[in-house]
Amino acid sequence: MPDALNGLQQSLIRGAGNLFARSGKGNERLCVVNYHRILEHKDPLLESEPDVATFRWQMATLAKCFNVLPLHEAIALLGTGRMPPRAVCITFDDGYRSVHDLALPILKEYKLPATVFVTTGYIGGGSMWNDRIIEAVQNLPAGQLDLSELGLGAYSLASLGDRKQTVGKLTEASKYLPPKARLELIKRLDALVGEDIDNGLMLTPQMVINLDRAGIEIGAHTISHPILTSLDDDSSRVEIAGGKKDLEAIIGKPVRLFAYPNGKVGKDFDQRHTRMAEEAGFTAAFTTSVGAVTSTHDRFQLPRSRPWDKTPFLFALRLLRWLAWDERYDHAHDQYHTHDHTSTRPALAPQDGHAGREPHGKQPVMNNRVLLTAFHFPPQAASSGIQRTLSFSRHLGTNGWEPMVLSASPRAYSVQNPSQLASVPQQLVVRRAFALDTKRHIGIKGRYPEALALPDRWISWWFAAVPTGLSLIRKYKPQVLWSTFPIATSHLIALALHRMTGLPWVADFRDPMLQSSYPVSRPQRKIYAWIERETIMRCSAAVFTTHSARDSYRERFPMLAPEKFHVIENGYDEDGFGDQEPVPTKPGTRITLIHSGVLYQTGRDPSPFLQAIAALKAGGKVSADTLRVVLRAPGEIDEVQGMVDKCGVTDIVAVEPPVPYRAALSEMLAADALVVFQGTPFNTQIPAKIYEYFRARKPILGLVDTSGETCRVLRAAGFDSVASMDSCEAILPVLERFLDEVRSERAYVATEELIASSSRTHRASQLAAVLNQAVGNGV
């Protein structure tokens, strides 16, 4: 991904943030991001610190997609109803000179305010103890660093990876050493390096003044950056109040804001220190807890966190997550908040007793819930793909999982079949988010700018589905997310929900997203590739409908465990068939051959099949009296009818519109035989109708790529009437033989064992096992 958001991504981020605000979930929340040093170039020992290039695209993202406010002004706005949507503040800790030399010019370029919390003991000279650890580990020769005499053990410096681990372990251990013991460590490291390191990392007094005059707010961060809980109360007061006085003497104005060193609530500071901060005259103080500031927070324990994402889009999504809702932070806040029951200070705004919280009272029962995100769901009627999600929603309950569905508004469907709604369980929670079809609703005579249809024509669904999904998650507390292709926006929605909530995510790819001939458009292919990779890398499990599709992803992502990739084939739903039985073929009557489902010019082109029928007709081997072919619900009916007309077989072949699902199954049961089209572009796919064909107990003619997955499944099941879909010459003899076998009742049908293993009930039990694995319940 480039180091900048494109116009579509910017619109997505701004639109989602505005929707959160209008829905009441983001208009009283403030996201505070936190930095320390800015590096001229990347440093492998300082991976958490951005270099100039990274900081630049982060600031560009904030300037283009968010409302960046001065920190003290933003705090004052909370609870007033006047906080703008997408509100963000920028802060820096410790007082590094890189804020002055490297960050300030970029902040000025984008006209962004910021606050710098300065540790005054290092102004004008010296290095903080953690920086001296890093400098020592960088400069020491390869070998072993033995600190056993200090009670800190020995550390390897043999490789870069070893040095990274050593820095991390020594820094974490040193945070909680008594000041005297930590000083002994620094002296020991200085002695080993051979010099007392002072590399001018920190701000000078004049730099502090320059920042203040440039509009950067100066906040206090103690004198020496101690862990306050390691000090006695008198020493803590000196650190908190003394740093404030030092800074006020430099800039000549009041210092209003304070940040706790290290900032872990209850561990690095407690209620004693929040009182000290208030007594010292600060108006607010900040922790390092993850999440957004709300009007219900104690103003002396306000959260903020470092952004660490590698791309602008994911960086922006993380901020949206904090602005929208972060359940894990809410729980942590409830558990670890250092309540001071003796304090009389107010929260940030008057409260009504439950501001920013879910109302108390009866809540939905929480037990193994899964949120299913799917575009294809009743009343959509143009794709058999609805049956996969619908059947999971019907059968997961018997396998210990309560599903709920996030789908699209019916207006997004070009073809609807309201009768399908009768198949949706009455107790199922279904939320349909606003969505438009770019082609039908925005296009002019079917033409539209491609940018409005990336990754697909239903990208508008994302804007409403993300806040709707967050609302469902907040109310029903599902344990896991599930999303399904072939609408790429579905995975994009789940990606956002996963990033915003941290919930495990099972991605149902069904088939490969990227194929040799699809997507054709370069921009669409590029964004498909990004969505595919982000989904594969971030989901807990990836599910496919064929073994070849699964194996292709294992090969493409060898760095991931093979166990991450699963196969759950499509199937048939027994309830759809009810008590209907197959109608036997009557000797001497006209044979009816049916294909039920969408056809395409690429991959499911019926033209060679129609040409073969025309050839049999011309040879007197079939006629309207002996053969009837029905192409049911082919999608573009006029286009397919044109193919039929062109081949001169309108008396034999009927192109018919969609019918209710049960009616389509009844039609299969009444047919004499069934046909499936699946060409080369879909070699790693198996059409869902195959399993319904099995259950119908009818002969099957497979017009396929003979090297593809569909052909493999048909032959493995015992069906040998298969031919290359693209060749009239290959189809002709197979079709003639197949019709003879059907007419004489010698054609093969599926075995009872195959039918039983192909049921949707069985597939739901397989998905339940994957969900259990994703949330750590075992399989």
DSSP 443-492: -BTTB--GGGGSS-TTTHHHHHHHHHHHHHHHHH--SEEEEESSSHHHHH
HEC per residue, 240-282: HHHHHHHHHHHHCCCCCEEECCCCCECCCECHHHHHHHHHCCC
Let me know whether 396 and 278 are in one domain. Answer: no
DSSP 63-131: HHHSEE--HHHHHHHTTTT-PPSSEEEEEEEE-BHHIIIIIHHHHHHHT---EEEE-GGGTTS---HHH
**pLDDT of 411 strictly over 70:** yes
Among 176, 193, 210, where does a domain finish? 193
Let me know whether 419 and 516 are in one domain. Answer: yes
**pLDDT of 369 strictly over 90:** yes
**DSSP 8-state class, residue 618:** H
CA–CA distance, 705 with 726 (Å, rounded to integer): 8
Residues 6+ apart with CB under 8 A from 584: 745
Average pLDDT over residues 362-366: 39
Q: How many structural domains comprise the chain? A: 4
**pLDDT of 365 strictly over 80:** no
Residue 351 located in a structural domain:
no
Amino acid at 517: S
**Which residues, listed in sequence order, are joined to residue 653 by a DSSP beta bridge?**
629
pLDDT for res 320: 84
Residue 489 located in a structural domain:
yes
Q: What is the CATH number of the domain that holds 638?
A: 3.40.50.2000
pLDDT for res 752: 92
Let me know whether 155 and 232 are in one domain. Answer: no
**Residue 439, SS3 per DSSP:** helix
In the chain, the percentage of residues whose pLDDT exceeds 90 is 63
Residues 6+ apart with CB under 8 A from 103: 35, 38, 55, 92, 114
Residue 333 Cα distances to 227, 263, 296, 628, 760, angstroms:
21, 14, 11, 69, 43
Residue-range definition of the domain harbouring residue 554: 369-571+763-774
CA–CA distance, 367 with 47 (Å, rounded to integer): 40
CA–CA distance, 734 with 730 (Å, rounded to integer): 7
Residues 6+ apart with CB under 8 A from 63: 110, 111, 112
Let me know whether 181 and 290 are in one domain. Answer: no
φ, ψ of residue 152 to 5 degrees: the values are -110, 5
Residue 159 located in a structural domain:
yes
Let me know whether 612 and 737 are in one domain. Answer: yes
**348 vs 726, residue with greater confidence:** 726
pLDDT for res 358: 36
**pLDDT of 349 strictly over 50:** no
Largest Cα span, the chain:
107
- The average confidence (pLDDT) of the chain is 88
Average pLDDT over residues 103-118: 98
pTM for the whole structure: 0.61
- pLDDT tens column, 11-52: 878 877 777 676 554 457 899 999 999 999 999 888 889 999
Average pLDDT over residues 662-674: 93
CA–CA distance, 333 with 564 (Å, rounded to integer): 33
CA 229 to chain centre: 39
Let me know whether 91 and 240 are in one domain. Answer: yes
Residue 176 located in a structural domain:
yes
Residue 374 located in a structural domain:
yes
Let me know whether 509 and 391 are in one domain. Answer: yes
pLDDT for res 50: 94
Among 152, 173, 193, where does a domain finish? 193
Among 193, 215, 238, where does a domain finish? 193
Residue 167 Cα distances to 132, 151, 280, 526, 689, angstroms:
10, 16, 35, 39, 58
pLDDT for res 325: 59
Residue 11 located in a structural domain:
no
Residue 10 located in a structural domain:
no
Residue 144 located in a structural domain:
yes
Burial of 238: CB neighbours in 10 Å, binned 0-12, 13-18, 19+: middle
Lowest-confidence segment of 91-105, 194-208, 213-227 by average pLDDT: 194-208
Q: How confident is the model at residue 366 (pLDDT cuts 50, 70, 90)?
A: very low
Q: Which two tokens stand for residue 286?
A: 């900040």
- Candidates 513, 514, 525, 478; CA nearest to 497 is 478
Let me know whether 119 and 174 are in one domain. Answer: no
CA–CA distance, 478 with 114 (Å, rounded to integer): 38
Beta strands across the sheet bearing 591-596 = 653-656, 627-632, 591-596, 673-678, 700-704, 722-724
